[in-house]
Structure 1
């Protein structure tokens, strides 16, 4: 046993020497002076030759400082001198380790996932490393311990023995780190020493269970017993101590959390959440314990807000918690209480606009007030993340709501901020941007938007109508418009689409059926022999199904004069007796030139879907919208699943499938 431990110590000593040397002296990265103390002003020198940033005109960096056992990122501007980039930085006085990530546009150099690191010497304690130096060096390269720099370096990590060594060094020279690092330290002991770990872990437990132990210490002791030693009896005895010393502490919180009612009565559930959050507020709680036991206050608040808005049709709870909403909460809530009801038209647009505005303003506040939990992102990275989230997840809906009430200038201002991020790759955003530009009379900007959106195949039916109207005004007629539209398309993109579609080609007999249309006429599969047929399975309650209809209308109109191509829109998975009337009114109100068929009722069930169920079994699919293209012999050749948001893209996709299918003998 002694020989084994000596070998381990010898290995760690070699690791220490080689890693420090490697971290402090790289051919393309160095500091002046080479030996750095916390609080020093140093010069960081970076040579981009032989790196991904070679020959880049502008190079910047993100500097990560390990302070108080947490990572803090800052943006660094570099100046080029000769062939090297350099910058002078002041090392924070409480910093133990610096790490650097060099950037040029979208290119990143992190030393081939090894990182660029500088370990700090202690300014006040001669001959010693700075507080956090050992822990930062070990944990930054041990991702499985969850205390590395998120998204900085990506590799399996150093050995558990090395991680143990660095944490042991940290605790040895910085006793106040014990309680902070105790669990990753214990986990490293268990992983490094395996069956020989128990005596060492018992010494850790003895410290954690001392007379003046804090609640956090005892919770960590319980966690070690449960997870690392798997000693439930010992863990139970610690629980008894915890309940005696902290009767309203974390264990009581956990018991109350588990007692929150579940079931179908939403009022009871909401009251349970409110009661929990009142008696056990988040402030001062043990975050690690909460995470381990899935006590997520953000989710609790989200549930209160979402369920209350659904039950009461008001947003009182949103106002209550608005100023405590986190970045992720805002995105989730926007989807739940703005996006879904907007698409389903469940809530008045003016009401939704007020909700949308509050959530947008909350994100904008967070953008200028970066929360500490995101300290590992530099200010520029944080702003970029917020702006990207706004553009990709919130702005399109917000613009739609603003346009709906005539606030076109405000909608345009949001569009102008999001457009550099989205480009012309989002049909929904392009449509709302076009509405704002059109209403404000920006003709040239509108034309640019329309033509580039068509090129990217991300235009709506309304945008095509605007383009056609502009063409008519310029030419005096719409003659040649289709050729003009074709000239705007991306030929390379069209070929890529065709190549991808061909990869998914099928040859499966379509299921036989007999269904009634809107007029009560029965249509059978055998009636369609000799024709290329497009079947679109949809339902009145299916938001993406109906969202795809403008694109399907474009496809239907394209083949309106081709008697060999027919489209059938099969309404399925409906309940009750009123759906046929609802379908007829919806099709008429939206002026859709669709042939509608009603799926048959399932035997011994209340819903329709007899044909679609057999289609699902045959083609191993589920869910709607589903579009199936069938050849003249009754064999299914292609399927289109879901809806990606672009009317023109869907129309082109269906058209490509139809044209290929028509050529099949």
Structure 2
């Protein structure tokens, strides 16, 4: 939940007006003037000019909104233990008291950071106390679901269910009145979180009610997780025919995860009355998935010159992509704290195994954006504990390879041909391992 000046001040003045105003320092007399000028600069993608205006505004108005947000970004909006977080928060709130008559969402952002620290520490009492301090009902709903999922990670389903139910209730009340275009989506996300939790608690009938509200009520029924949750709940509520139809769609399109694959045989047998013909049915789905992925991959083909870089691996060896010219390179940018990165690794290991005897295909796993000064020890432990055979390279602010590739989110994968051109880009991870292996394989084979 990073808050930046660019997010807080976005609007639409002409770039020429901004540049003229910025050059005439006397024209900028109030903080509002700087807000308008920086807003227009960011709106017109002139980040350097916008950042420069923000810096001047912070210096000229040390008690203003720019200075407050700068303090928040640099000191408050960081992951840290709750005791440390409270000290920084109190220092910030003393320097920039919260207005009583005009609520500002940045203060709710700060309070949610403290509630999250308590969720991390598995302290439901203090977590709830700080959630209660969040004034915006719409934003509180988001945080209740967010923190509730963290308590799930602690296996505290009682607290998790309480928070997620509260999130659903707050979202249901607030989203019809909201001007935020994402509010309705947040409501359906809360419903999906509750439905998924109830499913795992075997409260199938109630879980299906919420899943049906999402799937049949405009809650983005084409999303894989929505369709999967609804299908599994149909099966759990003795409706295997309808469940099998949806799961067939998921598998055929390559969107099914490993849970779907595991539960498919039993759902098939329940729908058909026996498991007769299942092998042929599954093989046909796999063939359809393969064709679907290959067709999709063809549409994603591109050609961009890839940056050439040099990094050290975990053993201190220097690796340069200049020395790998002629080989197909699969780059995977990741971090030890990144859940989707780690969820993708079993599929990546399968792909590495598939091409381990192919001298013309090289996989490089680039660890980046770590939150500690020297991540090598943690990275080595993670790779070793999971028995991955990856060659891991270490990227940091000094080397900045992740910036050269203009990565905005991880996991991010780049498939580069032998001539040094990026031919495919992938961000995030969803679906199952088999589909991921098939997708990467199709990309590799297409650019040989």
Q: What TM-score results when the alignment is normalised by the length of structure 1? A: 0.44
Residue 336 of structure 2 corresponds to which residue in structure 1? 540
What is the aligned counterpart of 2:171 among 360, 363, 374?
363
Q: Decide which structure has the larger Cα Rg and report it.
A: 1
Q: CA deviation at 1:531?
A: 6.0
- The 8 Å contact of residues 148 and 159 in structure 2, kept in 1 or not, is answered as no
- The 8 Å contact of residues 427 and 453 in structure 1, kept in 2 or not, is answered as yes
Residue 353 of structure 1 corresponds to which residue in structure 2? 161
Determine whether 1:570 maps to 2:365: yes
- Cα deviation, 1:434-488, whole Å, max 9, x if unaligned, reads 4434444432122122112234543223223333665686346636734333336
Determine whether 1:404 maps to 2:200: yes
Give the 3 Å change call, closer, same or farther, for CA 475–434 of structure 1 in structure 2: same
2:357, 2:279 → 1: CA distance? 21
Give the 3 Å change call, closer, same or farther, for CA 514–397 of structure 1 in structure 2: same
- Bigger helix share: 2
2:296, 2:202 → 1: CA distance? 39
1:612, 1:386 → 2: CA distance? 39
1:359, 1:399 → 2: CA distance? 13
List gaps (5 residues or longer) in structure 2.
Answer: 1-29, 34-62, 77-83
What is the aligned counterpart of 1:481 among 262, 282, 305?
282
1:387, 1:445 → 2: CA distance? 27
What pairs up with 1:118-267 in 2 under 5 angstroms? 263=75, 265-267=84-86
- The 8 Å contact of residues 228 and 246 in structure 2, kept in 1 or not, is answered as no
Determine whether 1:320 maps to 2:132: yes
1:461, 1:487 → 2: CA distance? 17
Determine whether 1:625 maps to 2:421: no
- Cα deviation, 1:540-567, whole Å, max 9, x if unaligned, reads 111231243465467568x479857757
- Cα deviation, 1:2-31, whole Å, max 9, x if unaligned, reads xxxxxxxxxxxxxxxxxxxxxxxxxxxxxx
What pairs up with 1:256-405 in 2 under 5 angstroms? 263=75, 265-271=84-90, 282=100, 285=101, 290=102, 295-296=103-104, 298-311=105-118, 313=123, 314-318=126-130, 320-321=132-133, 325-331=136-142, 333-334=143-144, 336-338=146-148, 341=150, 345=153, 348-366=156-174, 388-391=185-188, 393-405=189-201
Residue 17 of structure 2 corresponds to which residue in structure 1? none
- Bigger strand share: 1
Give the 3 Å change call, closer, same or farther, for CA 530–273 of structure 1 in structure 2: closer
Residue 219 of structure 1 corresponds to which residue in structure 2? none
Q: CA deviation at 1:578?
A: 3.7
1:281, 1:555 → 2: CA distance? 55
Residue 49 of structure 2 corresponds to which residue in structure 1? none
Aligned length: 365
Give the 3 Å change call, closer, same or farther, for CA 300–505 of structure 1 in structure 2: same
Residue 584 of structure 1 corresponds to which residue in structure 2? 384
Give the 3 Å change call, closer, same or farther, for CA 409–273 of structure 1 in structure 2: farther
2:346, 2:426 → 1: CA distance? 16
What is the aligned counterpart of 2:303 among 502, 505, 530?
505
2:402, 2:111 → 1: CA distance? 37
1:274, 1:622 → 2: CA distance? 31
- The 8 Å contact of residues 545 and 642 in structure 1, kept in 2 or not, is answered as no
Give the 3 Å change call, closer, same or farther, for CA 483–448 of structure 1 in structure 2: closer
- Cα deviation, 1:79-113, whole Å, max 9, x if unaligned, reads xxxxxxxxxxxxxxxxxxxxxxxxxxxxxxxxxxx
Determine whether 1:656 maps to 2:442: yes
2:306, 2:68 → 1: CA distance? 52
Give the 3 Å change call, closer, same or farther, for CA 537–595 of structure 1 in structure 2: farther
Give the 3 Å change call, closer, same or farther, for CA 613–302 of structure 1 in structure 2: closer
Q: SS of the residue aligned with 2:279?
A: coil
Residue 414 of structure 1 corresponds to which residue in structure 2? 210
Determine whether 1:595 maps to 2:389: yes
Residue 102 of structure 1 corresponds to which residue in structure 2? none
Residue 264 of structure 2 corresponds to which residue in structure 1? 467
- The 8 Å contact of residues 532 and 565 in structure 1, kept in 2 or not, is answered as yes
Q: SS of the residue aligned with 1:577?
A: helix
Give the 3 Å change call, closer, same or farther, for CA 364–634 of structure 1 in structure 2: same
Give the 3 Å change call, closer, same or farther, for CA 281–514 of structure 1 in structure 2: closer
Q: CA deviation at 1:330?
A: 2.3
1:567, 1:440 → 2: CA distance? 47
Residue 609 of structure 1 corresponds to which residue in structure 2? 395
List gaps (5 residues or longer) in structure 1.
Answer: 1-223, 228-253, 589-593, 600-607
Q: CA deviation at 1:609?
A: 1.9
Determine whether 1:635 maps to 2:411: no
Determine whether 1:449 maps to 2:235: no
- The 8 Å contact of residues 306 and 337 in structure 1, kept in 2 or not, is answered as no
2:68, 2:310 → 1: CA distance? 52
1:612, 1:358 → 2: CA distance? 44
Give the 3 Å change call, closer, same or farther, for CA 317–353 of structure 1 in structure 2: same
- The 8 Å contact of residues 624 and 641 in structure 1, kept in 2 or not, is answered as no
2:379, 2:423 → 1: CA distance? 29
Q: CA deviation at 1:496?
A: 5.0
Q: What TM-score results when the alignment is normalised by the length of structure 2? A: 0.62
- The 8 Å contact of residues 510 and 634 in structure 1, kept in 2 or not, is answered as no
Give the 3 Å change call, closer, same or farther, for CA 299–411 of structure 1 in structure 2: farther
1:413, 1:651 → 2: CA distance? 35
How much is the aligned-residue C-alpha RMSD, in angstroms? Answer: 5.0
- Higher relative CO (Cα under 8 Å, sequence separation at least 6) belongs to 2
